[in-house]
Amino acid sequence: MRTCLPAALAATFLLPACLVQAAEPVESAQPAERNLPLWEAGIGAAGFSTPAYPGADDRSNRGLVLPFVIYRGKTFRADQNGVGARLLNTDKVEFDIGFSGSLPARSKDVEARRGMPDLGTLVEFGPRVKYKFADMGEQGRMRFELPLRAVIEGRGGLRRQGWTMEPRLVWEKRGEGARWTLEGQLGAVFGDRRINRYFYEVAPQYATADRPAYRADGGLLLVRTGLFGTWRMNPDVRVFGFVRYESYSGAANQDSPLMKKSTGTSAGLGFAWTFARSAARARAAE
């Protein structure tokens, strides 16, 4: 959901990461970050529509209003790239430890999963390597990202639900004066057997005439591409939106009775309002 949270597993992403990305000035990717406030706080809202889970034919339509915080410390950061600890940052390579997540889906609202356990809120945690390999000037910049995440479910307690890996190419471009930004991604999500079982396995006790028992395997979850954009209305208010397309063809569990569609689309629109900033500048954290 990287990126907007990025929210890879439930074909959605947690709103706070999107609000941070929409509010964070893209100049922060440059040395000018040292002249930005050490922290900023605000509030934002968004509405979005996504598949209930990858491959679902039911959709989840949500609206949320939540606060956000941007913090530009030397190591710990909450910015347009997510929340985590940046352990290495050079002109070409960045290494950090970060978080992302996805929202829950109730099985009573999803016809294919009716009678099965709900899908809970998922939090992903782990390392990420970013390699910045092309600066094309006015045409934007390119980088390769490789996050590896442990997936933790929060539903009646905390439990680990496997691992995911998402190699992806990222292109970003900004308008003059950073009034607008665009970011495009192309990547694939792979999961171990445990997270694939979480989404696609049908245990014998949940089998029905229309939903036979199924044993899930580890491997490819999905391939996806998407576009995220922001527009700065004034120094305090930005609007943002995203569209995303996913393909489940060739997925390790495309034969699961819970895999109802071969493609999925998501979209959302929202705004972020910054109402407080620190007098201290980011350079003080170095």
What is the spatial distance between Cα 16 and Cα 143, in angstroms, rounded to a whole number?
A: 24
Terminal Cα distance for the chain, rounded? 28
Quickly count: other Cβ atoms within 10 Å of residue 195's Cβ: 26
Domain that holds residue 21: 15-285
- 8-state DSSP, 31: G
Number of alpha helices (DSSP H) and beta strands (DSSP E) in the chain: 2, 13
Residue 9 lies in a domain: no
Question: What are the phi and psi torsion angles at 212 (to 5°)?
Answer: -65, 160
Residue 45 lies in a domain: yes
Residue 176 lies in a domain: yes
Q: Is 223 helix (H, G, I), strand (E, B) or coil?
A: strand
Residue 61 lies in a domain: yes
Residue 233, pLDDT above cutoff 90: yes
Nearest to 122 by CA among 93, 145, 99, 148: 99
Residue 151, pLDDT above cutoff 90: yes
What is the spatial distance between Cα 76 and Cα 285, in angstroms, rounded to a whole number?
A: 10
The model's pLDDT over 167-218, given as tens digits with 9 standing for 90+, comes to 999 999 988 777 899 999 999 999 999 999 999 999 999 999 999 999 999 9
Q: Is 279 helix (H, G, I), strand (E, B) or coil?
A: coil
pTM: 0.83
Residue 2 lies in a domain: no
Residue 205 lies in a domain: yes
Q: Nearest 5°: CA angle at 39, between 80 and 65?
A: 65
Given this model, what pLDDT does residue 283 score? 61
Residue 41 lies in a domain: yes
Nearest to 29 by CA among 101, 84, 77, 87: 77
> Would you say the C-alpha torsion 111, 199, 186, 142 has a positive or negative sign?
positive
Over residues 95-123, mean pLDDT? 87
The model's pLDDT over 51-80, given as tens digits with 9 standing for 90+, comes to 999 999 999 888 888 888 888 777 666 555
Instruction: Yes or no: say if 135 and 167 are a contact pair by the CB < 8 Å rule.
Output: no
Which tokens belong to 182?
Answer: 């665009």
Question: What are the phi and psi torsion angles at 201 (to 5°)?
Answer: -80, 140
Residue 232, pLDDT above cutoff 70: yes
Residue 150 lies in a domain: yes
> Would you say the C-alpha torsion 73, 79, 83, 87 has a positive or negative sign?
negative
Residue with tokens 């960045």: 94
Which tokens belong to 209?
Answer: 């005439």
DSSP-assigned states of every residue in 95-142: EEEEEEEE--B-GGG-GGGTTSPPB-EEEEEEEEEEEEEEE-GGG-EE
What are residue 151's DSSP bridge partners? 124
The model's pLDDT over 1-54, given as tens digits with 9 standing for 90+, comes to 333 433 333 333 445 566 666 666 644 444 445 577 888 899 999 998 999 999
Which tokens belong to 105?
Answer: 């889906």
The CATH number of the domain where 168 resides is what? 2.40.230
Instruction: Yes or no: say if 58 and 109 are a contact pair by the CB < 8 Å rule.
Output: yes
Which range, of 99-108, 187-196, 215-224, 252-261, averages the lowest pLDDT? 99-108
- 8-state DSSP, 202: B
Report the domain count for the chain. Answer: 1
